[in-house]
């Protein structure tokens, strides 16, 4: 789907520049598992968690693995609160952002206030807007103008917070799952997922709708792409013109995930050790990262962190089209064994576990709020 170039990596100037070349095979463009319901994959996790809860004498240990984050980041956590845990070393690696709250004031007044806040933080368009509380890319939009920011404000739910974050200067993106046991100096990267923004390439003849339908992968996901591009489906892209179908790096929103575990390196691990030791109470989760190219990324250079996710994170390489069902289950089960182990060590350090009622309440609040977010790019 992305433009193919000579050599091993996608060339500068192209979408997903710096990433390994993406090959979409006609007969294996979508895994038979990647869009199945979550309960199918997490039923074994629930059974294992019940057993581990009995063994450790506390079912809620995963909720204290990251003690400085609400419920360890299992549900209802604030992106702002997590990013604000970063000290001076870690902040240098995080894309700058501001956090605003939609209030009951006049919309134009809120817009001007947002513009002033952007100017004070030296942020400019294009800029990425995202809900402060959310998951799986819900409500993420790339805003290119003041008018689009106004539209985002208008459709955002009242009294809810959102972030405006600088658009990273890099095209390549990865999800990096990092764990470090309390008391240990070195952590470990247990998963790297390469996230490809899907696109089609115009031929000067076919409409966008036809190009999507003709694509081996996108043609099977028209329910994701057509509603997002309703006004341009009859448009005919010029020959060679690459048109993006999705912006948010979320699998459920249409991004393409590939297993990147071969790119785990000691240098990148050491770099993340240094960064995440400066993030108070962060031991387990997935970092969403933009980077310049694979060589420098493996060397621990030229990248920036967009988000830090907590206990509910997935090692998302499992949604690669070639991942077996056995590997999906074994990876998820391993994640939660680690989560319980870290939680048990935190309990020994005096951290108290919250109640299941607190978890249920946070889940209800998040579910209620997410339903009112703007559509995702």
Q: Per-residue pLDDT averaged across 65-86, rounded?
A: 95
203-223: average pLDDT: 93
Strand partners, 200: 243
Torsion angle (degrees, nearest 10) of CA 216, 221, 227, 233? 10
Q: Is 80 exceeded by the pLDDT of residue 377?
A: no
Instruction: Classify residue 266 by burial, with Cβ atoms within 10 Å: 0-12, 13-18, 19+.
Output: exposed
Say which residue, 8 or 239, is predicted with more confidence. Answer: 239
Judged on CB neighbours under 10 Å (0-12, 13-18, 19+), 240 is exposed
Please enumerate in sequence order all residues whose Cβ is within 8 A of that of 334, keeping only pairs 6 or more positions apart, or say none.
Answer: 190
CA distances from 321 to 23, 29, 83, 177 (A): 11, 7, 32, 19
Report whether pLDDT(2) > 90: no
Which tokens is 180 given?
A: 């470090």
Which pLDDT does position 373 carry in this prediction? 84
pLDDT at 247 over 50: yes
DSSP designation for 353: P
What is the pLDDT at residue 35? 83
- Band the pLDDT of 25: cuts 50, 70, 90: low
Secondary structure class of 147 (helix, strand, coil): helix
> For residue 183, what are its two tokens?
């008391």
> Rounded to an integer, what distance in angstroms lies between the CA atom of residue 36 and that of residue 144?
34
Mean pLDDT of the chain: 92
Scanning 92-215, the segments in alpha helix (DSSP H) are 107-120, 146-155, 208-214
pLDDT at 24: 59
- What average pLDDT does range 117-121 have in this prediction? 97
Question: At 34, is the pLDDT very low, low, confident or very high (cuts 50, 70, 90)?
Answer: confident
pLDDT tens column, 282-299: 999 999 999 999 999 999
Q: How much is the average pLDDT of 307-335?
A: 95
Strand 127-131 and strand 141-143: pairing? antiparallel
* DSSP codes of every residue in 10-70: PPTTSTTTTSBPP---TTSSS-SSTTS-HHHHHHHHHHHHHHHHHHHT-TTGGGGSSTTSG
pLDDT, average across residues 201-206:
95
pLDDT at 232: 94
Rounded to an integer, the average pLDDT of 71-90 is 95
What is the value of pTM for the model shown?
0.92
The token pair at 351 is 């951290």
Task: Give the torsion through C-alpha atoms of 273, 277, 281, 287, to 10 deg.
Answer: -40
Q: Of residues 349 and 367, which shows the higher confidence score?
A: 349
Give dist(CA 29, CA 120) in Å, integer.
Answer: 45
pLDDT at 239: 95
């Amino acid at each position: 789907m992305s433009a193919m170039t000579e050599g091993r990596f996608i060339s500068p100037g192209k979408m997903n520049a710096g990433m390994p070349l993406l090959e979409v095979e006609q007969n294996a463009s979508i895994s038979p598992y990647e869009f199945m319901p979550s309960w199918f994959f997490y039923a074994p996790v629930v059974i294992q968690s019940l057993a581990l809860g009995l063994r450790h004498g506390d079912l809620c240990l995963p909720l204290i693995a990251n003690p400085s984050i609400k419920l360890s980041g299992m549900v209802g956590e604030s992106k702002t609160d997590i990013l604000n845990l970063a000290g001076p070393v870690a902040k240098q690696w995080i894309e700058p952002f501001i956090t605003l709250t939609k209030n009951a004031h006049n919309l134009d007044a809120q817009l001007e206030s947002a513009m002033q806040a952007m100017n004070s933080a030296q942020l400019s368009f294009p800029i990425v807007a995202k809900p402060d509380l959310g998951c799986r890319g819900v409500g993420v939009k790339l805003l290119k103008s003041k008018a689009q920011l106004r539209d985002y404000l208008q459709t955002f739910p009242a009294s809810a917070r959102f972030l405006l974050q600088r658009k990273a200067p890099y095209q390549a993106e990865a999800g990096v799952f990092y764990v470090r046991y309390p008391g240990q100096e070195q952590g470990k990267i247990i998963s790297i997922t390469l996230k490809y923004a899907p696109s089609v390439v115009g031929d000067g003849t076919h409409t966008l709708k036809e190009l999507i339908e003709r694509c081996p992968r996108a043609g099977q996901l028209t329910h994701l792409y057509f509603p997002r591009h309703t006004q341009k489906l009859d448009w005919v892209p010029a020959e060679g013109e690459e048109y993006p179908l999705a912006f948010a790096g979320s699998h459920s929103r249409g991004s393409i995930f590939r297993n990147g575990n071969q790119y785990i390196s000691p240098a990148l691990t050491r770099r993340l050790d240094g960064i995440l030791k400066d993030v108070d109470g962060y031991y387990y989760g997935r970092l969403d990262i933009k980077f310049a190219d694979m060589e420098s990324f493996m060397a621990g250079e030229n990248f920036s962190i967009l988000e830090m996710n907590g206990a509910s994170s997935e090692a998302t390489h499992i949604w690669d089209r070639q991942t077996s069902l056995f590997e999906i289950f074994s990876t998820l089960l391993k994640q939660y064994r680690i989560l319980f182990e870290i939680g048990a060590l935190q309990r020994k350090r005096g951290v108290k576990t919250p109640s299941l009622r607190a978890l249920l309440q946070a889940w209800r609040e998040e579910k209620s709020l997410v339903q009112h977010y703007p559509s995702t790019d």
